[in-house]
Amino acid sequence: MARESYQEQLDQLRSDVLYMGELVGDRLLTALLAMQSKDDEAAMTVIHGDAEINELYLELEGDCVDLLALQQPVASDLRFIAATFKIITDLERIGDLATNLADYSLDADRDVFPEVDIQSIGDETLAMLEEAMVTFDTEDTEACLKIADWDEDVDEQCREASEAVVRDLMERNIDQHTDDEEIEHLMNDVSRLLLTIRDLERVGDHATNIAARTLYMSDGDDQLIY
């Protein structure tokens, strides 16, 4: 009976992590939509919902600690719990990044860099997160490796986007006759856009971390852990 209870706890932990991944993915999607449509109400939903993700993280962290302390797991179960502890940390941080993105969208009152396709990068990182959670559920090791390759592509997109912002700024006709308020506004736009690109890249990094921990959990293969 005790062993059944232990297995039920492991199954529940897996289910709870999948729920957390779904919740975080939903918040990231809402933040991206808020950015695209400049929807302040949607942005505030993400910002106010961050506490829920933090509370869930603490709850699952406690579950991991209890399983380690009370059940003394070995072999594959130990890898599962250790990987889960890291995965929920990555999910919590993606939740924080979604909150950042929502916050940036509140200040975005104009689109001064239309050639920078932020939405496309955001869609890629969201898809990476969703695929990473599928790999966690199915323990598809080949998919884990593909996510790592995918991350390199997203990193390159982010690098190109950042360079495009800087290049566009340098090409603008800004001189001593340019209004100070306009310059300040432009600098704020640049700063916000570069922060957005940085945070989207970090979402991809955390999704890759989830895939890396899943690979370790499934096969004991730590090649993606760095």
Flag whether pLDDT at 186 surpasses 70: yes
What integer pLDDT is reported at residue 160 of this predicted model? 95
Q: Is residue 224 part of a domain?
A: no
| Domain presence at residue 159 | yes
Distance (Å, whole) CA 137 – CA 80: 12
What DSSP element (H or E) covers 42?
helix 40-71
Contact 161, 118 (CB under 8 A): yes
More confident: 108 or 218 = 218
> Would 49 be classed as within a structural domain?
yes
Does 226 reside within a domain?
A: no
Q: Residues 6 or more apart from 7 whose CB is under 8 A from it?
A: none
The two structure tokens encoding residue 198: 């940085």
pTM of the model: 0.92
CATH (domain of 151): 1.20.58.220
- The DSSP symbol for 113 reads -
pLDDT higher than 50, residue 1: no
Structurally, how many domains does the chain consist of?
Answer: 1
User: Domain limits at 22?
Assistant: 2-219
Is residue 32 one of the residues assigned to a domain? yes
C-alpha torsion sign, points 17, 19, 23, 29:
positive
For the segment 179-199, the average pLDDT, to the nearest whole number, is: 85
Return the percent helix, strand and coil in the chain, to nearest 5. 85, 0, 15
- H or E stretch covering 21: helix 2-37
pLDDT digit string (tens) for 31-83?
999 999 989 999 999 999 999 999 999 999 999 999 999 888 888 999 999 99
What is the C-alpha separation between 70 and 77, in angstroms, rounded? 13
User: Which of 137-176 are b and which e, b meaning 16 or more Cβ less than 10 Å from the residue's Cβ?
Assistant: eeebbebbbebeebbeebeebbeebbebbeebbeeeeeee
Nearest-angstrom CA–CA distance, 77 and 13: 12
The answer as to whether 85 is a domain residue is yes
Confidence at residue 111, expressed as pLDDT on a 0 to 100 scale: 66
Amino acid 171: pLDDT: 76
Q: Is residue 86 domain-resident? A: yes
